[in-house]
């Protein structure tokens, strides 16, 4: 009998949150990153969403997915009072690469399908009786994401002068992640003032340039640990003064010493 095995590219391991939002025109959420996928769907109004160095404007029926450990921030924009849905979930394996590349514009049937999925996830998070509900809704979300990943995301970046300068500075920080650079170094490289860099990060990141650069260095150090590098090797690669200083730095910002992180 002929048999063709299935390739399992990814699976959903669990759901962490799912909720509807409705914000006033002044709403701003400070930037963060976490080891989860996050999906934002706007159903009315407009939001400004920052994702690492990229800045997007999302409007009705626009969806944006944040990959694990991507820095992201969201705020109301253009004097609107936006509403929509946000959810977070854990995965193993690799989701379609297209999901990381920009905004998806959902058709009305796709939006309704996704809203039904989120409603079921909310139900799953609240009740414990139906032990199959989690698997059912995880399969539905997997199918939705696989289909969405076969479509083409719209880049539609904010190309305003301020957003363009923000991208330049974040790019400089990303390229300088192995160094222990200062804000003055980035100002000199990008040929803009320190005070203007602070304004850009307040607007698009919701945190200071120093905090953002620290986030990048922590994220990169975590990747090196995942790849099997020792604290001594990472301290040398990333220009920390000593392995001990790197360990203190890493624990301060993650809650785990490098040796504890590697065991997780």
| pLDDT tens, position by position, 101-140 | 999 999 999 999 999 999 999 999 998 777 889 999 999 9
Q: CB–CB of 172/186 below 8 Å?
A: yes
Yes or no: say if 60 and 43 are a contact pair by the CB < 8 Å rule. Answer: yes
Edge-to-edge strand list for the sheet holding 54-58: 28-32, 72-76, 47-51, 54-58
Identify the DSSP state of 117: H
pLDDT single digits (tens) 61-82: 999 999 998 999 999 999 999 9
Q: Do domains 10-149 and 161-263 have the same CATH topology?
A: no
Classify domain 161-263 at the CATH topology level. Arc Repressor Mutant, subunit A (1.10.10)
CATH superfamily of 10-149: Regulatory protein AraC (2.60.120.280)
Contact 104, 155 (CB under 8 A): no
Task: Encode burial over 84-110: b for 16+ CB neighbours within 10 A, e otherwise.
Answer: bbbbbbebeeebbeebeebbbbbeeeb
Instruction: Note the Cα 133 to chain centre separation in Å.
Output: 27
For residue 189, pLDDT over 90 is answered with yes
How do residues 13-35 score in pLDDT, each as one tens digit? 999 999 999 999 999 998 898 88
Tokens at 72, concatenated: 């992201």
Rounded Cα distance between 176 and 210, Å, is: 13
Task: Return the residue matching tokens 């159903």.
Answer: 43
Question: H or E segment at 261?
Answer: helix 258-263
At 112 the pLDDT is: 97
- In whole angstroms, what is the distance from residue 234 CA to residue 178 CA? 9
| DSSP assignment letter at 56 | E
Question: What pLDDT, on the 0 to 100 scale, is given for residue 263?
Answer: 59
pTM for the model: 0.86
3-class SS of residue 237: helix
Place of tokens 């769907």: 41
Query: Is 255 a residue whose pLDDT tops 90?
Result: no
Q: Measure Cα distances from 229 to 15, 28, 60, 238 in Å.
A: 31, 38, 45, 12
3-state secondary structure 92-106: EECCCHHHHCCEEEC
Long-range contact pairs involving 150-153 (C-beta distance under 8 Å, separation at least 24): 150/96, 150/98, 151/98, 151/104, 152/98, 153/98, 153/99, 153/101, 153/102, 153/103, 153/104
User: Domain residues of the chain, as ranges?
Assistant: 10-149, 161-263
Evaluate if residue 60 carries a pLDDT over 70. Answer: yes
Q: What does the pLDDT average to over 86-94?
A: 95
Handedness of CA 206, 211, 212, 216 (dihedral sign): negative
- DSSP 3-state assignment of 40? strand
């Amino acid at each position: 009998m002929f048999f063709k095995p299935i390739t399992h590219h990814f699976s959903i391991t669990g759901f962490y949150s799912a909720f509807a939002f409705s914000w006033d025109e002044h709403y701003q959420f400070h930037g963060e990153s976490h080891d989860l996928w996050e999906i934002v769907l706007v159903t009315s109004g407009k939001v400004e969403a920052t994702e690492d160095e990229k800045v997007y404007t999302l409007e009705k029926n626009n969806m944006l997915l944040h990959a694990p450990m991507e820095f992201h921030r969201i705020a109301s924009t253009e004097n609107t009072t936006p509403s929509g849905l946000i959810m977070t979930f854990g995965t193993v394996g690799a989701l379609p690469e297209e999901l990381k590349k920009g905004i998806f514009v959902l058709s009305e049937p796709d939006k309704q399908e996704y809203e039904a999925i989120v409603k079921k996830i909310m139900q799953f998070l609240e009740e414990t009786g139906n032990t199959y509900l989690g698997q059912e809704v995880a399969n539905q979300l997997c199918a939705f994401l696989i289909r969405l990943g076969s479509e083409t995301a719209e880049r539609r970046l904010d190309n305003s002068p301020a957003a363009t300068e923000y991208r330049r500075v974040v790019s400089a920080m990303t390229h300088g992640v192995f160094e222990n650079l200062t804000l003055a170094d980035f100002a000199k490289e990008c040929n803009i003032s320190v005070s203007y860099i602070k304004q850009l990060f307040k607007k698009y990141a919701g945190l200071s340039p120093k905090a953002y650069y620290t986030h990048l260095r922590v994220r990169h150090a975590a990747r090196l640990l995942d790849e099997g590098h020792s604290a001594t090797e990472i301290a040398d690669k990333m220009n920390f003064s000593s392995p001990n200083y790197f360990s203190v730095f890493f624990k301060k910002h993650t809650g785990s010493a490098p040796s504890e992180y590697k065991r997780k």
